[in-house]
């Protein structure tokens, strides 16, 4: 049981990083990313391939994966937003995400297709005994979540964070006030992309084996649920949201113990139903999510000095 909780906590952690990336892109910046699963796969495959084929260590493979997904996301934003209205952006991300998944599935020479990539190395593997490794992995993943939240909160409180939210609220006003909207959007999407790359790397480290089925589009729905449940733009809330979604998902495995006659197909259906019911309950009782986005609260009574 303890080990189950630990493993589940690790899963929650890297799911939370993925959801945080979405919360930055969509929650704060208003850029819908329906290609999340594909970019997530790109991050995991990039990390794995950098190690397996490129000979990089886990640290540089992670950095490389972050850079690759950031560039991919940035390119999608540049190319799409330059030529079309932003309304089409969501569709393009969907297409690109699907394409990335198909590449993973079909380009056998690179990704071994449906067989997947195995033998993925883990960070700190040489330093710890295998029996206690899951604790180290959990600590590492939790640290990555904390670092991500710290980074995003820092951005949210900065002038850049204001631009991010302004572009979401009304891009015409942002432009009228002198902000380069396209450039802002490229950066929003690329920064989110780097975080997706991080989540993908953690995913690869945890499973040590990746194949295309792990990155199906249902991942996108879960990530959106986590963000909506936690509150758009509220990064701490996303951790809560991701925890709830993953607990509901994984917890429904226990249904098999309670009702042994369930087939695995029925079980899969029940998981989706539980998630759906949970989401509906949330939208009824707390449509704005658990937590609220950061808002500057200045000291109004004091002198003209105040802390940021």
Partner 1 sequence: MLTVKDVAKSFGGFRALNGCGLEVRPGTITGIIGPNGAGKSTLFNIIGGLFPPDQGVVELEGRSIAGVRPDKLAGLGLVRTFQISRELGELTVLENMLLAGQGQSGEQAWANFLRWGLVREQEARTLAKARALLERVDLWHLANDPARNLSGGQKKLLEISRALMLDPKIILLDEPTAGVSPLMSRALTKAISTLRDDGITFAIIEHDMDMIAEICNPIYVLAEGRTLTSGSFAEVTANEDVMKAYLGKVAA
- Would you tell me which residues interact with partner 1 (CB under 8 A)? 154-155, 158-160, 162-163, 165-166, 168-170, 172-181, 187, 191, 293, 295-298, 300, 304-306, 308
CB of 292 to partner 1, least distance (A): 10
Q: How many Å apart are CA 106 and CA 113, to the nearest integer? A: 5
* Nearest-angstrom CA–CA distance, 175 and 152: 23
Residue 3 or 82 having the CB closest to partner 1: 82
Find the shortest distance in angstroms from Cβ 308 to partner 1.
5
User: Helix 89-106 crosses helix 36-52 at what angle (to 10 degrees)?
Assistant: 40
> Which is closer to partner 1, CB of 154 or CB of 253?
154
The closest alpha carbon to 211, from 74, 95, 115, belongs to 115
Which one, 260 or 308, has the nearer CB to partner 1? 308
Residue number, 143 or 277, with CB nearest to partner 1: 143
- Contact 18/201 with Cβ under 8 angstroms? no
Is the CB of 158 or the CB of 213 nearer to partner 1?
Answer: 158
Q: How far is the CB of 190 from partner 1 (least distance, A)?
A: 10
CA–CA gap between residue 40 and residue 222 (Å, rounded): 13
Nearest CA-CA partner of 211 in 130, 119, 73: 119
Q: Is 85 or 126 the residue whose CB approaches partner 1 more closely?
A: 85
Beta pairing partners, 117: 210
Whole-number Å distance between alpha carbons of 151 and 6: 25
Q: Please, what's the b/e burial string for 224-240 (b: 16 or more CB within 10 A of its CB; e: otherwise)?
A: bbbbbbbbbbbbbbbbb
Q: How far is the CB of 294 from partner 1 (least distance, A)?
A: 10
- Of 101 and 168, the one with the shorter C-beta distance to partner 1 is 168
Least distance (Å) from partner 1 to the CB of residue 165?
6
Nearest to 227 by CA among 11, 20, 40, 33: 20
Secondary structure element (H or E) that encloses residue 210, with its range:
strand 209-210
CB of 172 to partner 1, least distance (A): 7
Find tokens 């991080």 and name the residue. 198
Closest approach of Cβ 158 to partner 1, in Å? 4
Distance CA 201, CA 42 (A): 9
């Amino acid at each position: 049981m303890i080990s189950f909780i630990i493993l589940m906590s690790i899963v929650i952690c890297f799911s939370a990083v993925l959801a945080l990336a979405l919360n930055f892109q969509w929650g704060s910046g208003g850029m819908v990313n329906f290609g999340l699963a594909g970019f997530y796969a790109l991050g995991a495959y990039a990390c794995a391939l950098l190690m397996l084929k490129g000979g990089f260590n886990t640290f540089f493979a992670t950095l490389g994966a972050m850079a690759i997904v950031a560039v991919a996301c940035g390119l999608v934003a540049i190319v799409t937003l330059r030529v079309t209205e932003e309304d089409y952006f969501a569709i393009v991300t969907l297409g690109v995400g699907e394409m990335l998944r198909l590449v993973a599935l079909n380009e056998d020479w690179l990704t071994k297709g449906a067989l997947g990539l195995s033998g993925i190395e883990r960070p700190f593997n040489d330093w710890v005994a295998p029996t206690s490794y899951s604790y180290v992995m959990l600590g590492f993943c939790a640290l990555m979540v904390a670092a991500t939240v710290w980074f995003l909160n820092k951005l949210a409180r900065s002038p850049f964070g204001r631009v991010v939210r302004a572009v979401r609220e009304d891009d015409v006003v942002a432009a009228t006030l002198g902000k380069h909207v396209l450039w802002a959007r490229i950066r929003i999407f690329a920064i989110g992309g780097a975080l997706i790359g991080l989540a993908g790397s953690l995913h690869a480290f945890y499973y040590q084996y990746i194949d295309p089925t792990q990155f199906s589009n249902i991942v996108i729905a879960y990530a959106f649920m986590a963000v909506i449940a936690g509150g758009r733009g509220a990064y701490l809330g996303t951790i809560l949201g991701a925890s709830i979604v993953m607990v509901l998902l994984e917890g429904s495995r226990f249904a098999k113990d309670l009702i042994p006659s369930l087939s695995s197909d029925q079980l899969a259906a029940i998981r989706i139903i539980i998630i759906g019911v949970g989401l509906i309950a949330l939208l009824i009782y707390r449509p704005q999510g658990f937590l609220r986005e950061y808002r500057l609260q200045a000291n109004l009574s004091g002198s003209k000095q105040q802390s940021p």
